Amino acid sequence: MNILFFSRVSTFFPGRIGGAETSMALMAEKMAELGHKVFYLTYVEKDELIDQSSLEQFKPVQIIPYSVPRRVRKLLFKVKPGRKERRSHFEKCVAELMDRENIEILYSHYDREALGAFLKVREAHDFKLVMRMAGLKWYEESQDSDQIKADYEAIFRNVDAINYNTPGLKTLCHQRAGEISFDLSPRHEFVADIGARAVPVQHETQEQNEDVLSVTVATRFSGYQKRQDILVKAVALLDRSVKIKVTMIGSGSELGKIESMIEDLGVSDQINIIPFMPQPDLWQQLCQSDLLCHPCEYEGLSKIIVESMLLGLPVMVSDVLPLSDYVVDGETGYLVENTPEAWCRQLTQAYNERSSLSALGEQAKAYAEEAFNVDRNAANYLNEFQRIPA
């Protein structure tokens, strides 16, 4: 099978990436290992020198860099009357790649503009277009603009298949679609995720901090979905006998708001915020923690949660879909109602039972190693691709 992956950013070039890009790179790598011909189309800075020899390290995946200046990335598909050069150039590059390599499957994250271009190319080329669904950004944006809503509806209706990464996310997407009268009626849909590669470090309980519960939160500070504010308020409610140290890692539009909240609630001595860090440094941070906390309104298949579980680090997450698909309260982690009071109670319990946290982490690790087995999940993807109706 000849497969093309697309994401605007990727693990193959410098820059901020998320769980979707990490998963897609791993999918590409595993499918190439299984003998399929795999390509990965991604953006690269126009002024960045591309050392072709450096791309050899990613073989057998063939990296296709699409060079574009950063300042026009968001404008790439914004076509003014009489100015269609940008979109047509991207579509032409994709069409040539389709013809040259006889691509059978194009797998893309749900990028509204790029998917529109891929659908245009598909009018004259025979390939199946699969869209990865890993969140609800489409839902958030559709409430702000009737045109964006119509664009998403057309895309979701016309791609050959939508891939939800958890059963809970599929349920949540259809629920949200009903709330805003959104026509979510894809030709085909399936649930699958590649999982995560083994983490090359090992979690160990930090004896020198045995009287302090060391907590890490690693996610962006966004205006929707993420809820660091709940955790900040929960820490402010804790009895002073509960010794806790929270490290929040990330950046985003709500960072200033959270910093002000920490100051106003008088918990600056308990909560510290640091910027995003390279993956190896993040793993080391997790290894030095007793607990990963992830408060949110919803989530896809969170890589930071999965990686923590694979490390044997216990996780405490919001009791929301789809997190409840793979975090079982008291067995593979803690599920917590999204109120400061509930988080305060659960943090207090975790502190009082910290001697048993390592056992909970080992249960999570055993579950994750089975549920997120990359080789089995890659084979499952290939079966799903073959099941997509012609």
What are the residue ranges of helices labelled H in 7-134? 19-33, 52-55, 85-101, 112-122
- Rounded Cα distance between 93 and 229, Å, is 44
Q: Are strands 161-164 and 189-191 parallel, antiparallel or unpaired?
A: parallel
Q: Yes or no: say if 75 and 86 are a contact pair by the CB < 8 Å rule.
A: yes
Q: Which residue has the tokens 């897609």?
A: 24
Nearest C-alpha neighbor of 289 from the set 334, 354, 238, 224: 354
For 84, the token pair is 């269609």
CATH topology assigned to domain 2-195+373-387 = Rossmann fold (3.40.50)
Cα angle 174, 176, 180 (rounded to 5 degrees) comes to 115
Which regions of the chain does DSSP assign to beta strands (E)? 2-7, 37-45, 62-68, 105-109, 128-133, 161-164, 189-191, 213-218, 244-249, 271-274, 291-294, 315-318, 334-336
Largest CA distance in the chain: 68
**φ, ψ of residue 16 in degrees (nearest 5):** -70, 130
3-state DSSP call for residue 80? Answer: strand
DSSP secondary structure letters along 309-320: HHHT--EEEES-
Position 54 scores a pLDDT of 66
Q: Tell me the angle at which helices 374-387 and 19-33 cross, rounded to the nearest 10 degrees.
A: 80
How would you classify residue 154: left for phi > 0, otherwise alpha for psi between -120 and 50, otherwise beta?
alpha
pLDDT over 70 at 206, yes or no: no
CATH topology assigned to domain 207-371 = Rossmann fold (3.40.50)
Position with higher pLDDT, 220 vs 347? 347
- Rounded Cα distance between 201 and 19, Å, is 19
pLDDT over 90 at 249, yes or no: yes
Position with higher pLDDT, 290 vs 197? 290
- Rounded Cα distance between 141 and 288, Å, is 38
- Rounded Cα distance between 139 and 321, Å, is 15
Q: How confident is the model at residue 89 (pLDDT cuts 50, 70, 90)?
A: confident
Give tens-digit pLDDT for 142-191: 999 999 999 999 999 999 999 999 999 999 999 999 999 999 999 999 99
For 15, the token pair is 């820059």
Does residue 186 have a cis bond before it (omega within 30 degrees)?
no
For 87, the token pair is 């979109």
Position 205 scores a pLDDT of 52
The whole model's pTM is what? 0.86
Q: For the chain, where do the domains classified as CATH 3.40.50.2000 start and end?
A: 2-195+373-387, 207-371
Other C-beta atoms closer than 10 Å to the C-beta of 331 total: 11
Give tens-digit pLDDT for 320-340: 988 988 899 999 999 999 999
Q: How confident is the model at residue 196 (pLDDT cuts 50, 70, 90)?
A: confident
| CA atoms within 13 A of residue 257's CA, in its CB half-sphere | 13
Q: What is the mean pLDDT of residues 51-64?
A: 78
Q: Yes or no: say if 237 and 340 are a contact pair by the CB < 8 Å rule.
A: yes
- Rounded Cα distance between 163 and 134, Å, is 8
